[in-house]
Amino acid sequence: MTDITAAPETRPGNDNFTKAAQILARLQSEIARAVVGQQEAIELTLIALVAGGHVLVEGVPGLGKTLLVRALAKTFGGGFARIQFTPDLMPSDVTGHALYELKSQEFKIRKGPVFTHLLLADEINRAPAKTQAALLEVMQENQVTIEGQSFPLPRPFMVLATQNPIEQEGTYPLPEAQLDRFLLKIVVDYPGEREEQALLSLVTQGRIGDVLEVDSLATLVSTETMQGMQRLAAAVRIEDRVRDYAVAIVRATRQWPGVAIGAGPRGGIALLRAARVAALMAERDFVTPDDVKRLVLPALRHRLVLSPELEMEGLGSAEVLRQILESVQAPRL
């Protein structure tokens, strides 16, 4: 592993914040070597990891969603596991199960793939609700219960779930309770023209097939370093005016015309958790209103349920949140 740093001190201080920001910048650059043209998605994924949350990555096929997760796993020295969600996937295939061994005549616990640091739940909406629900305790409690026995998961732990928004046949929509447990929803869009040119050049230079590999990426940070940055992010200051600004945005979603269900308190918590990491990336020990603004869409867009009338007008949650941001006045620090 390339040791770019020991874990930064968890005490707030300019040097510690600078060191953490440098680590995150190096991680972004390293992942971008494999994931071309998705800088925002890379940054948001790292924000969720340092904030100790989970992400839902949405985009049409072929935009590098799975590659992004694999690249993150390569640069991060923790365990990685992948589950391909299918209609016949059982909850025990995710969490594990008790297996009776004839030789010893006793039950043995066989742990599932969730016992890792980074879990890729690929095409999560292809599994039925019962299997999706198996992730609820995992994502919320960082533990798994098998045959009445609780087993803690490694730290840090993060679920990165992908889904395809255009292919609805054979899929099961994620319930609101499940969506609310994702800290951020990252929408992966088509790359720009120059980025797509660079992508095609990279894929066609002496390669067989069209798969971009992550083998050449360096492992830059350990699990201990990542946990140190998580503790440092938790120490970033949030002034009352900034907190109240986040609360005003979240509460506005509940009263906005055309929004059937607005964001709950967990939405405001997620918004501020992510904003703290954004401040850390900028080498600051305090959150600004601009940090909050930047994270409103990824932190809240999956928490709104729009009325059918609004959807018929072609408006989505992103447009509604932009309108809310224009209507809620930001404080001056």
CA distance 293 to 17: 21
Any idea how long the chain is? 333
Q: Are 93 and 111 in contact (CB under 8 A)?
A: no
Would you place residue 2 in the very low, low, confident or very high pLDDT band (cuts 50, 70, 90)? very low
Instruction: Please tell me whether residues 115 and 245 are part of one structural domain.
Output: no
Closest by Cα among 246, 254, 267 to 306: 254
Instruction: Please tell me whether residues 73 and 191 are part of one structural domain.
Output: yes
What value does the mean pLDDT take over residues 59-68? 73
Between 10 and 321, whose confidence is greater?
321
Q: Residue 90: inside a domain, yes or no? A: yes
Instruction: Please tell me whether residues 72 and 145 are part of one structural domain.
Output: yes
Kindly report whether the global pTM for this prediction surpasses the value 0.85: yes
213-255 per-position pLDDT tens digit: 677 788 899 989 999 999 999 999 999 999 999 999 999 999 9
Q: Are 235 and 12 in contact (CB under 8 A)?
A: yes
Structural domains of the chain, count? 2
Q: Are 85 and 127 in contact (CB under 8 A)?
A: yes
20-46 per-position pLDDT tens digit: 999 999 999 999 888 877 889 999 999
Answer whether residue 167 shows pLDDT above 90. Answer: no
Boundary of a domain, candidates 159, 177, 212: 212
Q: Residue 152: inside a domain, yes or no? A: yes
Q: Residue 1: inside a domain, yes or no? A: no
Cα-based distances in Å from 322 to 100, 182, 234, 245: 55, 20, 27, 15
Note down the domain range covering 298.
Answer: 236-333
